[in-house]
Amino acid sequence: MFGVNKVMRDLADGFAKQGYVVVCPDLFWRQEPGIQLTDQTETEWARAFELYKGFDEAKGVDDLLATLAHLRGVKGCSGKVGSVGYCLGGKLAYLMATRSDTDANVGYYGVGIEAGLGEAARIKKPLMLHIAVEDEYCPKPSQRKIAEALGKLPTVTLHSYDRMDHAFARVGGQHYDAAPAQLANDRTAQFFKQHLS
């Protein structure tokens, strides 16, 4: 929810180094194209929440579907495409699993997934969710709903990280924790290798 900032560009570069063709779409282009915020000041947090609250989820998914179609036609793309998202992007990765034909989707500490669980039956391709047990934005009752709705689906893998708070994998963030972040990232890398190769 901070825009295509340095953190997102570094993540994209990391996936590119793993051999993938990568696109990092500007989710807020309808509100403020090119915005780049950090999590380092209260003013930036406030602006990020304004953008988040003003985000049209359905149009955002439409933009991601257009990105998916574009990416499949990019030279070097095998045709198999995955999505990965963090926070708001974590929910969008879930929605890509329910509303698109992406080949694999990964969500990190997705916010609001519990509100979209009515779509769970549409998941046909692999989905992995990384859940921070102490996530203030996805409290334990929401986590239970997610586990109950998705835990038995054969295409879904859920990983919970004890004592971790929201954004534990965001380098430089307040709750960053290197060991569980590495574990989550390794699981994601293996997941994509398995389903996108």
Span 164-185, pLDDT tens digits: 999 999 998 899 999 999 999 9
Query: Percent of the chain at pLDDT above 70?
Result: 100
| Catalytically annotated residue among 130, 165, 166, 175 | 166
Q: In what order do the strands lie in the sheet with 127-132?
A: 82-86, 104-108, 127-132, 156-161
AA identity, residue 186: D
Query: Percent of the chain at pLDDT above 90?
Result: 97
pLDDT, position 181: 98
pLDDT, position 178: 97
pTM: 0.96
Q: What is the mean pLDDT of residues 61-76?
A: 96
- The full set of domains in the chain, from first to last, is 6-196 (3.40.50.1820)
pLDDT, position 162: 98
Q: How confident is the model at residue 101 (pLDDT cuts 50, 70, 90)?
A: very high
Question: What is the rounded average pLDDT for all residues in the chain?
Answer: 96
Please give the structure tokens belonging to residue 157. 């893998």
Q: CA-CA distance, 166 to 27, in Å (whole number)?
A: 20
Q: What is the mean pLDDT of residues 97-105?
A: 98
pLDDT, position 2: 94
Catalytic site residue 166?
Answer: yes
pLDDT, position 167: 96
| Catalytically annotated residue among 135, 165, 175, 177 | 135
